[in-house]
Amino acid sequence: MEYVMCGIAGAIGVPDAAYTVSLMLKALQHRGQEAAGIVSSHDGQFLRRRGWGLVDEVFAHVNIKQELPGQSAIGHVRYQTAGKSDQKSLQEIQPFRGQSQHGHLAIAVNGNLTNYQPLRDALLQKGATLQSHSDSELFMPLVSLSRRPSSWERLAEAVLLTEGASSVLLLDDQGLHAAVDPFGFRPLVWASYQDGWLFASETSAFDIFSVAKSAAIKPGHVVTATKDLVEERCFAWSKTTRQCSFCHVYFNRPDSVVFGQSSYLVRERLGRNLAAEAPAAADLVLAVPDSSNVMALAYAQALGVPFSFGLIRSHYMGRTFITPKQEARELGVRLKLNAVRALIAGKRVVVVDDSLVRGTTARRISQMLRDAGATEVHMRLASPPVTHPCRWGIDTPKRQQLLAARVDSADMARHLGVDSLGYLSRAGLLAAMNDPNGEQHCTSCFTGIHPTEGLPKPTSFLP
Amino acid sequence: MEYVMCGIAGAIGVPDAAYTVSLMLKALQHRGQEAAGIVSSHDGQFLRRRGWGLVDEVFAHVNIKQELPGQSAIGHVRYQTAGKSDQKSLQEIQPFRGQSQHGHLAIAVNGNLTNYQPLRDALLQKGATLQSHSDSELFMPLVSLSRRPSSWERLAEAVLLTEGASSVLLLDDQGLHAAVDPFGFRPLVWASYQDGWLFASETSAFDIFSVAKSAAIKPGHVVTATKDLVEERCFAWSKTTRQCSFCHVYFNRPDSVVFGQSSYLVRERLGRNLAAEAPAAADLVLAVPDSSNVMALAYAQALGVPFSFGLIRSHYMGRTFITPKQEARELGVRLKLNAVRALIAGKRVVVVDDSLVRGTTARRISQMLRDAGATEVHMRLASPPVTHPCRWGIDTPKRQQLLAARVDSADMARHLGVDSLGYLSRAGLLAAMNDPNGEQHCTSCFTGIHPTEGLPKPTSFLP
Amino acid sequence: MEYVMCGIAGAIGVPDAAYTVSLMLKALQHRGQEAAGIVSSHDGQFLRRRGWGLVDEVFAHVNIKQELPGQSAIGHVRYQTAGKSDQKSLQEIQPFRGQSQHGHLAIAVNGNLTNYQPLRDALLQKGATLQSHSDSELFMPLVSLSRRPSSWERLAEAVLLTEGASSVLLLDDQGLHAAVDPFGFRPLVWASYQDGWLFASETSAFDIFSVAKSAAIKPGHVVTATKDLVEERCFAWSKTTRQCSFCHVYFNRPDSVVFGQSSYLVRERLGRNLAAEAPAAADLVLAVPDSSNVMALAYAQALGVPFSFGLIRSHYMGRTFITPKQEARELGVRLKLNAVRALIAGKRVVVVDDSLVRGTTARRISQMLRDAGATEVHMRLASPPVTHPCRWGIDTPKRQQLLAARVDSADMARHLGVDSLGYLSRAGLLAAMNDPNGEQHCTSCFTGIHPTEGLPKPTSFLP
Amino acid sequence: MEYVMCGIAGAIGVPDAAYTVSLMLKALQHRGQEAAGIVSSHDGQFLRRRGWGLVDEVFAHVNIKQELPGQSAIGHVRYQTAGKSDQKSLQEIQPFRGQSQHGHLAIAVNGNLTNYQPLRDALLQKGATLQSHSDSELFMPLVSLSRRPSSWERLAEAVLLTEGASSVLLLDDQGLHAAVDPFGFRPLVWASYQDGWLFASETSAFDIFSVAKSAAIKPGHVVTATKDLVEERCFAWSKTTRQCSFCHVYFNRPDSVVFGQSSYLVRERLGRNLAAEAPAAADLVLAVPDSSNVMALAYAQALGVPFSFGLIRSHYMGRTFITPKQEARELGVRLKLNAVRALIAGKRVVVVDDSLVRGTTARRISQMLRDAGATEVHMRLASPPVTHPCRWGIDTPKRQQLLAARVDSADMARHLGVDSLGYLSRAGLLAAMNDPNGEQHCTSCFTGIHPTEGLPKPTSFLP
């Protein structure tokens, strides 16, 4: 899947903050495997380590406690974000760091700006020098150029000057500041820990430390934490919010609570609603492990059909040496997933997947199941087919790569090589998220309707 | 778990044999993550690449098709085997390779010799020079010193001079030769592929290539494959065999067929037999993903208790940078497994695990479930408690580290912090493997009885 | 020696410009061994590779022609420059690169700013964000913030806003621009080559390409080269210049022509003038290879005393693994230099060195010669003793580390353990450079007199 | 130059023996830049580190004192030795190490076997397994298979079973043993140091430690050193010896004393004899730095023509990134050597080089000097032209690559592009080494006469 997300984490007021952040980034690794970086503040210096690869790889030879000392730090794991894919310059890896009239700055962003080009032009014209091709870097000159007297105001002003999704962590000489844009596209949670505070994209990052109580940073809010105190302020307000529904469908860890809801329970309801909308007559229900496990199990239990582990996933799928690309993609599915012939041969099976994007993996799975002897292969999706790329994510497949945008819904089953195809309606999806009227969630990728079209501009509370 | 296994794979008569072997090693990665190596034969040269780490890491910067050309190759992935753990010399990594009076030799072994010391002394006295501390290396001088006229005889003679478990691949200038010792401790399978043949520890390595038909190499047999033909010969016979039961319980991939049986189906029977022997009254059944998934699901289905994914596993657990070791072990479990609070709170849960070795992870899981709000935590094991280290595996925990060897069975539940503990009997285990009389499987680690004690020496058919 | 220099090189209008620059940087390696970097401009992109170490090490695994394509490029080798020595961040390595309102920029500087702090504060206040601790980076915002309409004016304006030594290469979307400050502290030469132009710190960089004709960029001048044309402009004028005399004494390659003179011929005159001012009665003259070879030979020939290679230098002295530092320094001299006992035993020797800075190596050499059996050891220096750190070089020894600042000239011979000590006067040094009145050269490190004190501010010709 | 040499060093009875060896290997780096390795003996273990590259590169990330502890160690630096040049397997790098009936063994050899093939066949037939393509590895099975009761006898027996050049260091559980073959082809020296002993190819390795007194190991002798005592034994005797004359001409450091003579003084005599045999009328004498420095200076002084540093050598010539090979060779000379135009223009110059092998560099130098404006270029060689490859060195140029084997002596000057060519006679060479009758030195590469032809087989004193 190529939905654009990133993971961010921060800690302040705890010893070895960078080490704490590194553990949270490991827990958020599913949000970005391409690169990782951490900046810590110590003794008037901002130290950074970053690199391409998994958190474990980037920090394999870094003695974090010694090389990134200090009681405050922020970090970032990167999915595919803006920038040509061959621009593998270190410059592109967050957090960004620099020295400004407001002292040291470091910034980590989960989001995407839709007004990148005009905003960039305006900042350059003011004399800014940019180091990367990342839209997130614009927060650096936005803050550097701001004349506002306090950190939280500078950050809030920067968020208000951007359009799009912005969940931002700003580390400066004063403390650690976290902001979410007024529509709340991307999750950001925080918690008290020891004598300080933690920030992360998902609550599963806090579970490592047995931190049970946490809260979402609300849309249009900024939380400012220093060594001594924490303050939450509302800098902008919108009646309607646009929290990402695809996060619950696919992106989040199921053990996370984001946007105030357990993703596990949302996914159970997705599976149950799917069973109601699109039942199937079969001998076995299979998940596509691990992303559709919860939906497939709930679907099976709702229908009373036996659930089974008929598709086995290998978890040693790192950066692979397989080339060329075509062969890599082909072999990739076979190395990642394998059907249990002894179980499947002679059975009618229904595979429940979380979503339908390009359809290529789905087609390979259906072939794999037939090779293993399945007599019928039915496919069910716990969300509507994706028909439009996410405007908030630049590397999503172009529209013509989306199966549901290319192929008539009647033809889709034939195209995927399955005996029947069913999926959840948008209403079923919204119901599962307890948002029957769709006032809080963005479903733009399923509908093509611009998420903020027709909505009033949020009200700013900045002085 | 620290049970000693390794994975071996070979190919002959196929283009880019080393590349084919590298893909099979990836599919066998679960059998060994410590090191990997491949030797290919090309144009009168034996080429080798090996290194510490996962297959992907070792071959990340190797252009396999160019650096390891040729139509025959063997490879090895290494778990923890004999040798002090700090001897991280490349010399220890298989395949071994050398030049002898019989031409080039390369050897990859899955096994452990119990007569290592006397055999080594005898070989040195004949003038042999050894490079490593690995017992598997002894196959090099065994073959080099042999006066027998053909490759298969030299390999068979070598196996007969060893005691213990030996599944061996030998590549020489004549071809690729695969042998299994007369008791058949370790699995080894083979298949025809394109114009040649494949060899591997498990059939899942063949599934990548859609090779559906394969066979086990029978105990006491050697298979000799050249570019042109393949021959299977019996070189020794034993009425009773000793195939590893722990392979089915834990070590194999569930989608593999080894020793002639589907591990998936064996595990389903383990779960069902466990339900019959040790039921539990609970609201939810949880697996410890992924190793006990199949058993836990079968257990739940047999008892009619809802199965659920209440423990979530993170699969980004490579070589980690966490130190010191104590903290690494503590955090390791939390980074690897997390309980879904929203699901578990207020419930009676039963966790089904595959086996009980040291008990440390089990204790941490029970604590994690209570922290997540479980009102009762019951634990069920799909095998008898491990009471003795495996004589065929040198790095298994010492006896005093095995929980069942230290703690009375009555005290075990208390020790693990669970409300009840139940496990499968040896009879239930054997029944699940269709070996009710225990004539084909080794259960030594559950009983402490020497696996070949009292058995007659196998009959040799060597001329 | 720890005099601060760097090497810079640029090429435009030649195929594989970055490759051409890499060869020039190799020829300039003596000017900086700490780090190296190159930026090339290709197809609207500015590409960069940089790293710590020698040019060969940094580019060992870079396919320069493929990874840094394009017909224009600039590069830098770094000596020890400003910034705490443990700040080994890649961010510190030149060329700097960024995007600005004037398009892409890349900058490489050989120089040091004496108004770093106030200039930095002023630039931050205008909203600039800085990435490094290098004073050279200030040229980035200086150019980015400039409102002037053409590249050469922006670069000239930037040089005029700085104080100190500035030989600068600026690569932008228009072309390659080279400027030298009005006092001309640091050398910068250029030449026509094929259909384009080359720029470098010394002419020896051009000799690789058999480019025989080259010219110095005159103080206060800027040369602007595009694919099609080259223009030289005077942007500032000073009657008196301050070209570095220490460059001729020590820093340059003897085969270079800089500031319009051959360093080889200057050094011959230094040796001859030294023989006239400070002769010695001895059996042999020795150089401290290779830096004083030419002076020592000229000294010997002038006095008619046999020259010899009694000190042998090993040239395999890379980054060494010797620790701790004290032992490294001690062993370093012995690994680098060795006395030829068979030649020296029983002789009166005179060692000619280029300069006297800390005196530590000199003391070890005199001891080494006595150990080898010399009956008398006389030392002669081809320049006045260094009494003051260079204001234009931040990492030179602090004043109290300079032997001539600590020890009375009468005591120096005793301190160095030599039978007599003699050195060249400032007048002798200036005469050797054909500047008897000292109007063109800086001798500040020998006198302590501020190089520009009392001089009128240069006249600017900027519109 | 491609004459085959290697450097070996050993230490016993000193703390941190491997560290001591590493420093000696650095001093011997000129004898081999391709690879380096060290084995130390500590606490019943033989530890090894080895790799491709310079000593500094191989040990850059090795904490020698910790990773190679112990009071005895041996090491090796490798030039180009037997084996196809693309076999860059670690297996090829010395010291070799293994376990045998005589305990641990490690071996480092400077030499070449002329009976490699038959000896190898015989050893394989006895059941030996070999790891590399190096002839030196044969010493491993030679010692392992030996039935003799003591280390020195096993080593001496091994040397007597080989033909060719063998200077060998053997480290075993008893101590460190050094042997030189009866003809004494390669140098090996030893010295007492602290409470133990040092061994090395040249004395310059001892000078680091200010060890002034050392001795050559005489042909046919073995020195056995343990912690407590040292013994020297003669195991074979030959009236005539064959010490390498090319070592004095080119290979040794000039500050070394080997075969009992100072290489510096030998080279001075070479230069003087050359002046007598082949004077030249010129304005300047130039050396090709650094290898012909001493000869050129002596030549100039003998003739009364001014010596000068008209060719400047850059010493930053590591493994370079220049490709393809043809360009690398062309640019290599220009990056390594540069002519000082300001000095040379308009002059008649005579270049003195140490030897003439392929003639390619000589031709480039003469062109470079003419480009720099020399009006006449004369070339003088301080040894006879090389007409035959060394039988004791496998990678020397094939006969047809040797200029003197291809081109008539009359044509050579024209071929090299010089106005005149002169060289030293064999008689002049032998006289410079104080061996007028040629009874002690090998001059095979200048004559083509087999070095041991017609000589009686050495008398063995082995019991």
Confidence band of C323 (pLDDT split at 50, 70, 90): low
**Chain C CB contacts of A100 below 8 Å:** 124, 127-130
User: Within a 13 Å sphere around the CA of D227, how many CA atoms are in the beta-carbon half?
Assistant: 7
CA distance B155 to C241: 84
What pLDDT, on a 0 to 100 scale, did the predictor assign at position A83?
46
Which helix (H) or strand (E) covers residue D222, if one does? strand D221-225
Q: What is the largest CA-CA distance in chain B?
A: 72
What pLDDT, on a 0 to 100 scale, did the predictor assign at position D326?
67
What pLDDT, on a 0 to 100 scale, did the predictor assign at position C394?
40
B6, B247, B390, B445: the active-site residue = B6
Two tokens, residue B105: 């030799």
Confidence band of B103 (pLDDT split at 50, 70, 90): very high
For A:240-279, CB contacts with B below 8 A are 253-255, 257, 262, 264-265
Q: Cα angle vertex A40, ends A37, A44, to 5°?
A: 145
Percent of chain B with pLDDT over 70: 94
Mutant choice from D85, D129, D137 vs B, greatest count of B C-beta within 10 A: D129
The pLDDT of residue C151 is above 50: yes
| pLDDT-wise least confident of B290-299, B406-415, D57-66, D440-449 | B406-415
| A6 catalytic per annotation | yes
What radius of gyration, in Å, describes the C-alpha atoms of chain B?
23
- D209 vs A378, C181, D212, CA distance in Å? 80, 49, 9
Among C253, C264, C343, whose Cβ lies nearest the Cβ of D264? C343
A19 phi and psi, to 5 degrees? -65, -45
Mean pLDDT in chain B?
92
- A126 touching C, CB under 8 A? yes
**Chain B CB contacts of D100 below 8 Å:** 124, 127-130
Whether the upstream peptide bond of residue D354 has omega within 30° of 0, thus cis, is no
C123 phi and psi, to 5 degrees? -70, -40
* C176 bridge partner residues: C171, C225
Q: Read off the pLDDT of each residue in D74-103 and give the average, rounded to a whole number.
A: 81
Which helix (H) or strand (E) covers residue D301, if one does? helix D293-303
**Chain C CB contacts of D339 below 8 Å:** 255
Residue of B nearest to D146 (CA): B127
Query: Between these two residues, D300 and D329, which has the higher pLDDT value?
Result: D300
**Chain C CB contacts of D208 below 8 Å:** 331, 334-335
Q: Read off the pLDDT of each residue in B2-20 and give the average, rounded to a whole number.
A: 88
- Chains D and A physically touch (3 or more Cβ atom pairs below 8 Å): no
The pLDDT of residue B2 is above 50: no
The type of residue at B227 is: K
Among B255, B320, B321, whose Cβ lies nearest the Cβ of A338? B255
The pLDDT of residue D457 is above 80: yes
- Chains C and D physically touch (3 or more Cβ atom pairs below 8 Å): yes
Is B48 in Cβ contact with D98 (below 8 Å)? no
Neighbours of chain B (3+ CB pairs under 8 A): A, D
Percent of chain D with pLDDT over 90: 79
Among A97, A99, A101, whose Cβ lies nearest the Cβ of C127? A101
- B98 touching D, CB under 8 A? yes
Bridge pairing between strands A243-244 and A441-442: parallel
Confidence band of D454 (pLDDT split at 50, 70, 90): confident
B292-304: per-residue pLDDT in tens? 999 999 999 999 9
Q: D145: distance to nearest CA of chain B, Å?
A: 4
What pLDDT, on a 0 to 100 scale, did the predictor assign at position A84?
47
Confidence band of D7 (pLDDT split at 50, 70, 90): very high
What's chain A look like in SS3?
CCCCCEEEEEEECCCCHHHHHHHHHHHCHHHCCCEEEEEEEECCEEEEEEEECCHHHHCCCCCHHHHCCCCEEEEEEECCCCCCCCCCCHHHCCCEEEEECCEEEEEEEEEEECCHHHHHHHHHHCCCCECCCCHHHHHHHHHHHCCCCCHHHHHHHHHHHCCEEEEEEEEECCCEEEEECCCCCCCCEEEEECCEEEEECCCHHHHCCCCCCCEECCCCEEEEECCCCEEEEECEECCCCCEEHHHHHHHCCCCCEECCEEHHHHHHHHHHHHHHHCCCCCCEEEECCCCCHHHHHHHHHHHCCCEECCEEECCCCCCCCCCCHHHHHHHHHHHHEEECHHHHCCCEEEEEECCCCCCHHHHHHHHHHHHCCCCEEEEEECCCCCCCCCCCCCCCCCHHHCHHHHCCHHHHHHHHCCCEEEECCHHHHHHHCCCCCCCCEECHHHHCCCCCCCCCCCEECCC
Q: Read off the pLDDT of each residue in C67-94 and give the average, rounded to a whole number.
A: 80
Among C319, C342, C371, whose Cβ lies nearest the Cβ of D265? C342
For B:3-22, CB contacts with A below 8 A are 22
Confidence band of C272 (pLDDT split at 50, 70, 90): very high
pTM: 0.90
List the one residue out of D308, D310, D328, D311 whose CA is nearest residue D320: D328
- As separate numbers, helices (DSSP H) first and strands (DSSP E) second, chain C gives 17, 26
CA distance A198 to B463: 73
Two tokens, residue A264: 């596990």
Confidence band of B351 (pLDDT split at 50, 70, 90): very high
CA distance B221 to D343: 82
Mutant choice from A67, A96, A129 vs C, greatest count of C C-beta within 10 A: A129
Q: Tell me the three state secondary structure of residue B343.
A: helix
Which helix (H) or strand (E) covers residue B180, if one does? strand B176-180
Inter-residue contact A451 to A442 (CB < 8 Å): yes
Inter-residue contact B180 to B162 (CB < 8 Å): no
ipTM above 0.90, yes or no: yes
Burial B400-419 (b: 16+ CB within 10 A, else e): eebbbbebeeeebbeebbbb
Is B321 in Cβ contact with A56 (below 8 Å)? yes
B308 phi and psi, to 5 degrees? -150, 165
Is B262 in Cβ contact with A316 (below 8 Å)? no
User: Within a 13 Å sphere around the CA of A420, how many CA atoms are in the beta-carbon half?
Assistant: 13
Inter-residue contact C123 to C71 (CB < 8 Å): no
The pLDDT of residue B84 is above 70: no
Report residues of chain A scoring pLDDT below 70. Answer: 1-4, 80-87, 317-326, 392-397
The pLDDT of residue D1 is above 90: no
Is A30 in Cβ contact with B316 (below 8 Å)? yes
Inter-residue contact C45 to C77 (CB < 8 Å): no
Q: Cα angle vertex A438, ends A437, A441, to 5°?
A: 155
Inter-residue contact D301 to D307 (CB < 8 Å): yes
What pLDDT, on a 0 to 100 scale, did the predictor assign at position D286?
98
Mean pLDDT in chain A?
92
Give the dihedral sign, CA B294/B298/B301/B303. Answer: negative
What pLDDT, on a 0 to 100 scale, did the predictor assign at position B85?
43
- A124 touching C, CB under 8 A? yes
**Chain B CB contacts of A315 below 8 Å:** 290, 315
